[in-house]
């Protein structure tokens, strides 16, 4: 079973920040938080990952709470092309498998 809980769906207005929450209350000390997204039947696209510090790259920011039991993926200026299913995964570094849940279906509205 997936170790993460995400809302099944969210809407966001184009140009606004999209904040996608993820609960991972049973996360272990050596487990990273990964975010991927999947745009309609394409392969999942890597977005960002982190261990305990907040992370930012050209696509998004990842905010991890101090107790590491939850995190938020932030897309700072959502566009229509960000409409996708977003998956939050926790997994040890270098592990051989990801356990996907059902993700959050984000719809960006014009």
Partner 1 sequence: ETGVTQSPTHLIKTRGQQVTLRCSSQSGHNTVSWYQQALGQGPQFIFQYYREEENGRGNFPPRFSGLQFPNYSSELNVNALELDDSALYLCASRLQGDTEAFFGQGTRLTVV
Assigned token pair, 75: 């897309």
Q: Does 2 bind partner 1 (CB under 8 A)?
A: yes
DSSP state of 37: E
Nearest Cα neighbor of 51 from 35, 36, 34 is 34
Distances (CA, A) of 90 to 15, 27, 53, 63, 65: 29, 7, 15, 14, 14
- Count the site residues for partner 1 by CB under 8 A: 22
Residue with tokens 């570094």: 93
Only segment of 12-20, 52-60, 61-69, 90-98 that touches partner 1 (CB under 8 A): 90-98
State the nearest-atom distance from the C-beta of 28 to partner 1, in Å.
15
Residues between 3 and 42 that touch partner 1 (CB under 8 A): 32, 34, 36, 41-42
Contact pick of 78, 87, 104, 106 for partner 1 (by CB under 8 A): 87
Does residue 93 interact with partner 1 by CB under 8 A? yes
- Residue 82: what are its φ and ψ, rounded to 5°? -85, -5
**Residues at the contact surface with partner 1, assessed by CB under 8 A:** 2, 32, 34, 36, 41-46, 49, 87, 93-94, 96-103
């Amino acid at each position: 079973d997936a170790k993460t809980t995400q809302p099944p769906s969210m809407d966001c207005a184009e140009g606004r920040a999209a904040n996608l929450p993820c609960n991972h209350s049973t996360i272990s000390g050596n487990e990273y938080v990964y975010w991927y997204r999947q745009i309609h039947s394409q392969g999942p696209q890597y977005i960002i990952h982190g261990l305990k510090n907040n992370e930012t790259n050209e696509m998004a920011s990842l905010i991890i709470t101090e107790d590491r039991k939850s995190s938020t993926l932030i897309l700072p200026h959502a566009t229509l092309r960000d409409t996708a299913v977003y998956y939050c995964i926790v997994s040890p570094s270098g592990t051989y498998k990801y356990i996907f849940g059902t993700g959050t279906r984000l719809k960006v509205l014009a």
